[in-house]
């Protein structure tokens, strides 16, 4: 079996030769830690955004508006079949926070419809946002 060639450590500025590995023994743990940190940063950013919309859904204004909307639309506007459980944003709050309290951007959904189309709409909204900007 052929011997793998020696290559310099992939760590910037390090010229230690390693065989069959990206990093030398000194830099391998550092590189692993760096990867972890990058992952955590992405995760944190995501959570911040979620916290923002969580905060919105906890406001008195939203609770009142969504309760009132469902009073006006007691039946799911998607399947016309089940009782509405959730006031949903047609344009997701995540991408259109300015429409958060816009009556025309609301629709009443049953839990099932919300779960099945919520995901899909979220994706559409995101790709639309990407295309726009």
- Which residues sit at the interface with Zn ion, rule CB under 5 A? 9, 11, 14, 16, 24, 27, 76, 78-79, 82, 110, 113
What's the min distance (Å) between Cβ of 28 and Zn ion? 8
What's the min distance (Å) between Cβ of 11 and Zn ion? 4
* 35 vs 49, beta carbon nearer Zn ion: 35
* 26 vs 49, beta carbon nearer Zn ion: 26
* 21 vs 52, beta carbon nearer Zn ion: 21
| CA dihedral for 100, 102, 108, 109, sign (positive or negative) | negative
What's the min distance (Å) between Cβ of 93 and Zn ion? 20
What's the min distance (Å) between Cβ of 6 and Zn ion? 13
* 73 vs 94, beta carbon nearer Zn ion: 73
- 3-state secondary structure string across the chain: CCCCCEEECCCCCCCCEEECCCCCCCCHHHHHHHHHHHHHHHHHHHHHHHHHHHHHHCCHHHHHHHHHHHHHCCECCCCCCCECCEEEECCCCCCCHHHCCCHHHEEEECHHHHHHHHHHHHHHHHHHHHHHC
């Amino acid at each position: 079996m052929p011997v793998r060639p020696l290559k310099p450590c992939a760590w910037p500025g390090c010229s230690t030769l390693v065989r069959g590995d990206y990093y030398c023994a000194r830099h391998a743990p550092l590189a692993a830690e760096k990867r972890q940190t990058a992952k955590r940063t992405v995760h944190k950013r995501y959570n911040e955004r979620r916290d923002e919309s969580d905060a919105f859904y906890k406001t008195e204004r939203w609770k009142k508006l969504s309760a009132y909307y469902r009073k006006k639309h007691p039946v799911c506007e998607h399947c016309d079949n089940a009782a509405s459980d959730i006031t949903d944003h047609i344009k997701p709050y995540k991408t259109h926070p300015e429409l958060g309290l816009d009556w025309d951007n609301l629709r009443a959904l049953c839990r099932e419809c919300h779960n099945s189309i919520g995901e899909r709409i979220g994706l559409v909204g995101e790709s639309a946002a990407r295309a726009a900007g």
